[in-house]
Structure 1
């Protein structure tokens, strides 16, 4: 099976490794908040026609390996994901918004993005490894 996907006029394989953090890098992505962020990323990615390959929500950052359609820019994708997850999290967990330093912002500005070529499997393993490493460090 080819790694490429087809649209009407394009054969494509656009895969990205993206990392971003909550505002002030506070460790708030735990328990039900982390589960909500995980679900939101899955749902909103699907709505944009993008495929989540690997997703790992750490207490203070998110790792995402995703296939993004060529007609969707990375900045458009991240704007939708960060914006919609923030709205959803604040709606589900209003106590987060009450803290004086949050305001209406859940995520820090910006993100780190890297294109994934032939090393996709290595990056996938790294994303999974990060979760295992985090667990051993917190014990």
Structure 2
């Protein structure tokens, strides 16, 4: 398969493939408790940065609101996203409650994160552009 050099520069690669896998992840605090401030967000971000390489992932952008975080990250084709996200949620929940014991009074039970999350693939092109590109293949 031949890929234009200008496109290849924007892609990641391993031994057998080139790829660009970017994801937008939203994690919500259990019961939407408003417990995230700048300091706690930075702490949660550092946990993400520590865990990500174990799952062949890399943080690209991080931001927060008082009851959720937004994460843009890159991954590889063999990254098992659900395992990575669950490992992050478990580890970060444990260490943030240890580092900030005052959080426990705002949370019910032992949970920090909601069980659910939002994960959206974040590509560089819209679906319409990709559809058009595919439709035009083989027309030379």
TM range (shorter): 0.7 to 0.9
Evaluate the alpha carbon distance shift between residue 92 and residue 6 of structure 1 in structure 2; reply closer, same or farther with a 3 A threshold.
same
Match 1:45 to one of 40, 52, 56: 52
| Structure 1 length-normalised TM | 0.76
**Unaligned 5+ runs, structure 1:** 121-139
Residue 29 of structure 2 aligns with which residue? 22
Q: How many residues align?
A: 119
Residue 79 of structure 2 aligns with which residue? 72
Match 2:17 to one of 10, 31, 41: 10
Query: What is the CA deviation profile of residues 80-114 of structure 1, one whole-angstrom value per residue up to 9, with x for unaligned ones?
Result: 111111011011112323x3843221001111111
Of Structure 1 and Structure 2, which has the larger fraction of its residues in strand?
A: 2
Match 1:107 to one of 104, 107, 113: 113
Query: What is the CA deviation profile of residues 1-47 of structure 1, one whole-angstrom value per residue up to 9, with x for unaligned ones?
Result: 62211112221211111111111111101143222112111221233
Residue 87 of structure 1 aligns with which residue? 94
In 2, the alpha carbon distance for the partners of 1:91 and 1:5 equals 36
Greater Cα radius of gyration, structure 1 or 2: 2
In 2, the alpha carbon distance for the partners of 1:55 and 1:28 equals 17
Residue 129 of structure 1 aligns with which residue? none
In 2, the alpha carbon distance for the partners of 1:112 and 1:48 equals 18
In 1, the alpha carbon distance for the partners of 2:44 and 2:125 equals 27
Q: Which moved more, 1:80-89 or 1:48-57?
A: 48-57
| Structure 2 length-normalised TM | 0.76
Evaluate the alpha carbon distance shift between residue 109 and residue 35 of structure 1 in structure 2; reply closer, same or farther with a 3 A threshold.
same
